[in-house]
Amino acid sequence: MRALLTKIERASGLDRFGDRLQQTVQNVLRPQRVRDLLHGVWLGHPLHPAMVQLPVGAWISAAVLDLMPGQRKAATTLTAVGTLSALPAAVAGLNDWAGLARDQRRVGLVHAASNSVGLALYGASLAARLSDRHRLGRTLGWLGLSAVGAGAYLGGHLAYKQGAQVNVSVSDLHLISDGWHPVAEMTNLPQRQLLTRKVDDVSVILYRHGDDVTVMLERCPHQSGPLGEGEVREVDGHACVVCPWHGSTFRLNGGEAVRGPSPNDQQVLPTRIVDGRLEARLP
C-alpha cells in the first residue's frame, strides 16, 4: 500500500486535469466568504472531516441493517440520509482540495474519485431500494461502502502523512524550552511593523502596537508559508497578518484565523517586559 501511495503522490500525469479542476473550483466557489465557511474558518477546525461523519455513519449503519431481517425501510432511510449528506461534504472537500500542494492534490484527486464512485453506487442503491429491488440495493450499497472505504483510507493518508489541512506549525512549540526567553529590546521595536526573531531555534514574528507586542509563530499553519514576509492589513478593525503564499489571514491580537484556506488559528506566545526587554514563553 505504501508503494502505491507513493506512486499516487508522484503521479504528475494527474496534474493537467488537477490544475484545470482547481481553477474551476476557485472560479465557482466564490466569494471568499463562502470558501471560508466551507474551510471551517468560523469553526477553528476543518469542516470537511466533520461533515463526512454523517454519510459514513449512515452508510455503515445501513450496511449493518442490511444483514438483519425486517430492516429494509430503516436501511433505505439511512442510505438516503448518507447519500444526501455526502453532497455538501464533497463540496467542502473540493474547496479544501483546491488549496493543497501538488502532491497532496494528486492523492486528493484519487480520494475524490473513489468517493465519487461510492456516491454513485449509493445513488443507484437508493434507486433500487425505492423500486423494491432490495437485493440489488444491498449489493450496490456494499460495493459503495468498499469504494468510500478506499476513499477514507486515502483521506487518512492526506491528513496524517501529507499534513493536508492540519496545523503544520504548532509542532514548532515542541522546539521551545520552558521558561521565559529574551526576544528584543523594546527600544529597538518600531511601531506597527512586522519583524522576525528567534525564540530558541523557532522563527517568530513580532508586531508592536503601543506597548503591546505580539509574538507569533512565523510558519503559517496552512503550509508553512513565511508570515514574516506577509503584509499587515486591517480586517474588521483588527490588524492582521496576511500569508504571502495563499492569503490565510490571522489577527495579530490573538492569532485567530479570519480568512482561509487555513481553518486553524496561529499560535501566539505569552509575553512580558522586564527592564525594557521583551520576553516570551510557551503558552
Nearer to ligand FES, 22 or 262 (CB): 262
For the CB of residue 101, give the shortest distance to ligand FES in the complex, in Å.
Answer: 9
Range 216-275, binding ligand FES (CB under 6 A): 220, 222-225, 243, 245-248, 261-262
For the CB of residue 246, give the shortest distance to ligand FES in the complex, in Å.
Answer: 3
Total of residues contacting ligand FES (CB under 6 A): 12
The SS3 of residue 176 is coil
Whether the bond into 261 is cis, omega within 30 of 0:
yes
Nearer to ligand FES, 45 or 246 (CB): 246
Distance CA 199, CA 162 (A): 27
Distance CA 82, CA 85 (A): 5
Nearer to ligand FES, 78 or 217 (CB): 217
What does residue 119 show for φ and ψ, rounded to 5 degrees?
-65, -40
Q: Pick left, alpha or beta for residue 278 (phi over 0 → left; psi -120 to 50 → alpha; otherwise beta).
A: beta
Distance CA 197, CA 231 (A): 17
The answer to the question of residue 194 lying near ligand FES (CB under 6 A) is no
Nearer to ligand FES, 181 or 259 (CB): 259
Binding site for ligand FES (CB under 6 A): 220, 222-225, 243, 245-248, 261-262
